[in-house]
Amino acid sequence: MKIGLVGYQGSGKSTLFQWLVGRKPEPDGKQVAQATAPIPEPRVEALCEIYHPKKVTYASLEIVDTPGLSRDQTGNVSRLGYLRETDYLVCVVPVFDGSDVKKEMDAFLEEMVFADLEIATNRLEKVREQQKRHLPKDQLDKLAVEEAILQKIKTGLEEGHPVKADEMTAEEYKATRSFRFLTEKNRMILVNTGDDETDHASYEKFSTGDVPVRAVSVGLEVELAQMAPEERREFLDEMGIPSTSREKFIRMLMDFSGQMVFLTAGEKEVRTWLMRKNGTAIEAAGCIHTDFIKKFIRAEVVACDDLVRLGSEREVKAQGLNHREHKDYVVQEGDVLLFHISQ
Ligand SMILES: Nc1nc2c(ncn2[C@@H]2O[C@H](COP(=O)(O)OP(=O)(O)OP(=O)(O)O)[C@@H](O)[C@H]2O)c(=O)[nH]1
Ligand SMILES: [Mg+2]
């Protein structure tokens, strides 16, 4: 799962990157930097007490820092291009410099619409060129579908509407998904406040149905992360300012981007895995190994909380809390799974 950090120059993306992954991006700051942020899972420790595994592995998010957008728009389309391969966007909006949140959010959306419009327009021109050639009918039919959907997307973007995959037919989606439109990506807005901001919650009212808004003083959090816990507590009490832990923020990103954690546990390894919410047992099996999809027989399922509460698999079984499931079982957050596969 790749999370792209995006925003205007100096909005605090690289500071956010540092907070999330624990190191600064490359020195010149202009290039794309990528690093992993392990997803904290407090229940892993309790599982280790049960299994004493040789190895512990945490699922992680890939954090991608991108070059800042220019206010005069020059070069922004290519800067935004770095985000095409990402799955979820965190748009960093600075207010520590006195900017207006709503204005910043609108300006930013406009940049993304503009970048998508350029992609759609360029591709449309190419498609129309190809349509003039003498091509086999099936190819012409395909081009006709692409032309129609691109025209619809272009008109929508010109009116400021984001690209919406769920409004397309399967055929239209297939024809356009490789463009990875930015406005189609799920995203959140991170309002980067000044160090002395005490009312972070008030920014949440800018959230809209599918775009949550959260405020964090990113610069301050980086400093806090370097303090000893006691020192940090004293500082926060004295200043009366709120703080979000890095762990909480990473889990929130996982949640906002539609992902959840499931676990596997044994004496060899206790491990967390990332999968989409409401995904099925066969998808979970595929996360572990693509081979498991073909060879899947069934999954043994135990809720991690039951396992931790009762202290052993034997006790869970004695109480009848384990269950066997087929490939279409909807995995629940925190399930501990064991897959039976054919040889
Ligand atoms: N006061 C304050 N300053 C911040 C905060 N976050 C970042 N800054 C300052 O803003 C400047 C830019 O921060 P960066 O994190 O490098 O911003 P960026 O978005 O990566 O910038 P580009 O990569 O140039 O687009 C630095 O001087 C930071 O010290 C913050 O939360 N509060
Ligand atoms: Mg930067």
CATH code that applies to domain 278-341: 3.10.20.30
Q: Ligand 1 in contact with 296 (CB < 6 A)? A: no
Average pLDDT of the chain is 92
* Distance from the alpha carbon of residue 36 to the mean position of ligand 2, in angstroms: 17
The pLDDT assigned to 19 comes to 95
The number of the ligand 1 atom at minimal distance from the alpha carbon of 220 is 31
Mutate to test the pocket of ligand 1, among 6, 9, 15, 96 (most ligand atoms within 8 A of CB): 15
Question: Considering only CA atoms, which of 6, 17, 26, 4 is closest in space to residue 222?
Answer: 17
The pLDDT assigned to 27 comes to 63
> What is the chain's Cα-based Rg?
23
Structural domain spans, the chain: 278-341
The pLDDT assigned to 28 comes to 60
The pLDDT assigned to 239 comes to 83
The 10s digit of each residue's pLDDT in 169-190 is 888 888 888 888 999 999 999 9
The 10s digit of each residue's pLDDT in 243-270 is 788 999 999 999 999 999 999 999 999 9
Between strands 60-65 and 33-38, the pairing is: antiparallel
Higher pLDDT pick, 125 / 177: 125
